[in-house]
Structure 1
Amino acid sequence: MIDFRYHLVSIVAIFLALAVGIVLGTTLLQDPALKSAQELTAQLTKTKEDLRAEIDTLQGREAGNDTFITSVTPDLVAAELTGQRVLLIETPGSSSTVREGVQQVLDQAGAEISGRVTLTEKFFDPKGTGVLDGLVNQLKPANMVFPATATSWDRASTLLASALVTTDQAQGGTPNPATTDILSTFEAGGLLSTEGDPAKRAMLAVMFAPEKPYEGESAETQAGALVSVADGFDVGGTGTVLAGTAIPTAPVGDAITAVRDESEISKRVSTVDTADMPLGRVVIVYSLREQLSGRAGQYGMGKGASNPMPPVTSPTPSPTTESGS
């Protein structure tokens, strides 16, 4: 029969064995383990310092490039948009700092800003399409006909574009007779606000995308609504550029990505995803010039961008007559 003393001795033996094992293990492994940990720590520290130095170098180069581009921007864009009226369109969540920087460069390019229209969250609310449809039906002229597949935002943007932009240079700077009613009604409905004198129609438009993409179950619908607005103003005028910043992950709620994913619309509407950079502001000017020639492009560094900027073409030299020709 196994008595209590046997159990006690067994338990004591087990604990003694564990203690001896721990002592032997730590004694044998202490030096290699510590050395390995120290080497790994030193390696990680060096990697971190190298990456920090690389980041500092890249940021310094970027700052230098930005300073240089800013200093030569007036020369790069001089007279590029002389005589052109440009409408600015802000969307919910777009950056006023980006818009102010772009507006300054448009001024340097000789453009005249007709005014600014700020579309509200209510305008892009999927639950408010009934309000949009009602206002469009109330305000549209009898000869304005929409395709059967047109969305509420397609119809609304077509109506707004007819009031704010034109394809006829002779009508630039003049109001559409229906503009006042359209703008005042949309403004009274909390769908937009205006600044300046956008009623005096522009030829070109720059639309500013939200800084952050839409999220949630309506993200794709709302991004599509922004695409409709950009396309509506492009068709109603001589060109539209959608400007913003590149989103690394290019989610479905990103407006610039949404334009680039629409093969037909991307043939008409240009996008620039570097609008927060000095170079991007120059690219916006060049993209507007390209729009005037009937072409479009997707520019920047984000997903779907075809090139950093449009091709820069030299002025066509005047023909000369050589002797003997």
Structure 2
Amino acid sequence: MIDFRYHLVSIVAIFLALAVGIVLGTTLLQDPAIDLAKRTSDELTNTNNGLRSDLDTLRGREAGNDAFIAAATPEMLAGTLTGQRVLLVETPGSSTAVREAAQQVLTESGAEISGRVTLTEKLLDPKGTGVIDGLVSQLKPANMAFPTTATAWDRTAALLAAALVTNDPAQAGTPNPATTDVVSTFETGGLLSTEGEPVKRATLAVMFAPEKPYEGESADIQAGALVSIAGGLDATGSGAVLAGAAVPAAVPGDPISAVRDDSDIAKRVSTVDTADMPMGRAVIVYSLREQLGGRAGQYGIGKGAASPMPAMPSATPSPTTQTGS
């Protein structure tokens, strides 16, 4: 008869065999697994180092290009906009640094800055359209008429543009007597703020888009409001450019995308999506010059851009004197 001691020894033997098998199995597999993991890690490290090196090289090239363009910009743009007055328009969320850099380049091109208008979130709030419409009806000149399809921001844009810009060089630098209270009333109402003397009308306008597209259920409405204002400035003045930075993809809250998606506005208002780069600031100036010639374009590196910059005009050949034989 098999006693308890025999059973105990058998059970212990079974567990010992299992333990020995596990140890032998892991020992045989350990080295290949570790080697494979090490090789994979080394490959990933080498790839990562290579990508970092490529990124550093690209950053160095970009910094060099930016430095060269920044240094050459005053000479490249000298006299380009001489005799023109430019209005600067900041929007909610736009970059002060981008605006300041563009303002410097515009000054280097010979333009005179008439002043700056900063739009507020209150102006773009869809819930406030009734108040804005009331102000427009109260302040508009008697002879100002709006299309039946005009939105509240279309009407606002037309009224503000009449007070801020003109396409008549003889009226540039002078207030519009028909809209003397428009800007001050909008400012008192918290719809905008001003710096300088923007009521002494400009001939051209540059609007700066928000750094990031607007978000939320009203994002497309807010972007559309800015498009209306840019369109109004273009229609009343000698041209307008909407400038900002490129976004990864066209989204409802991006005003630049909204202009490019509107075939009618895109024929009149130019956009530049590289305003955060030295190249883009020069392109703003060239785009304004193109606007003076009655043309518009979509420039930059983002979705919807036709090219990085406008076509550069060829040098005008010097007149030659012909003598008879």
Contact 2:176 2:201 in 1 (8 A): yes
Contact 2:246–2:302 (CA under 8 A) maintained in structure 1: yes
Paired position in structure 1 for 2:268: 268
- 11-20 vs 252-261, which moves further: 11-20
Read off the aligned partner of 2:150 and give its amino acid letter.
A
One-letter amino acid matched to 1:53: S
Q: Give the TM-score of the pair, scaled to structure 1.
A: 0.94
On the 8 A contact 1:179/1:199 being kept in 2, the answer is no
Three-state SS of the structure 2 residue aligned to 1:195 is: strand
Residues 114 and 197, structure 1, Cα contact 8 Å, conserved in 2: yes
1:70-109 aligned at under 5 Å gives the runs 70-109=70-109
Question: In the alignment, what sits opposite 2:237?
Answer: 237
Contact 1:115 1:196 in 2 (8 A): yes
User: Equivalent residues in 2 for 1:95-244 (5 A)?
Assistant: 95-244=95-244
Question: Partner of 2:34 in structure 1?
Answer: 34
Q: Deviation digits for residues 241-285 of structure 1, max 9, x if unmatched? A: 001001113322111111111111011000011111111111100
Unaligned runs of 5+ in 1: none
SS in 2 for 1:178: helix
| Most deviating of 136-145 and 78-87 | 136-145
Distance in 1 between the 2:18 and 2:215 partners?
A: 57
Q: Which runs of 5+ in 2 are unaligned?
A: none
Q: Tell me the distance in 1 between the aligned counterparts of 2:126 and 2:311.
A: 39
In structure 1, how many angstroms separate the alpha carbons of the residues matched to 2:8 and 2:130? 84
Amino acid corresponding to residue 317 of structure 1 in structure 2? P
Does the CA-based 8 Å contact 1:172-1:201 persist in structure 2? yes
Structure 2 counterpart SS, 1:47: helix
DSSP-derived class of the 2:74 partner: helix
Is the Cα contact below 8 Å between 1:106 and 1:285 reproduced in 2?
yes
Deviation at residue 303 of structure 1 after TM alignment: 0.7
CA distance in 1, matches of 2:161, 2:103: 20
SS at match of 1:229: helix
Q: Could you tell me which residue of structure 1 aligns to residue 298 of structure 2?
A: 298
What's the CA shift for 1:313?
0.9
Distance (whole Å) between structure 2 residues aligned to residue 202 and residue 271 of structure 1: 19
SS at match of 1:268: coil
What amino acid maps onto 1:52 in structure 2? Answer: R
User: In the alignment, which residue of structure 1 is the partner of 2:289?
Assistant: 289
Q: Which amino acid aligns with 1:209?
A: A
Would you identify which runs of 4 or more consecutive aligned residues in structure 1 move more than 2 Å?
4-25, 318-325
Tell me if structure 2 keeps the 8 A contact 1:77–1:108.
Answer: yes
Q: Take 1:25 and 1:161, find their aligned partners in 2: how far apart are those partners? A: 82
Report the alpha carbon displacement of residue 149 of structure 1 after superposing the two structures with TM: 1.6
Whether the 8 Å CA contact 1:172–1:203 is kept in 2: the answer is yes
Assess if the C-alpha contact under 8 Å between 2:140 and 2:179 holds in 1.
no
User: What amino acid is the match of 1:157?
Assistant: A
Indicate the residue corresponding to 1:59 in structure 2: 59
Instruction: Classify 1:10/1:174 alpha carbon distance in 2 versus 1 (closer, same or farther; 3 Å).
Output: farther
Q: Are the counterparts in 2 of residues 164 and 179 from structure 1 also a CA contact under 8 Å? A: no
Aligned CA RMSD, in angstroms, stands at 2.1
CA apart distance, 1:150:
1.2
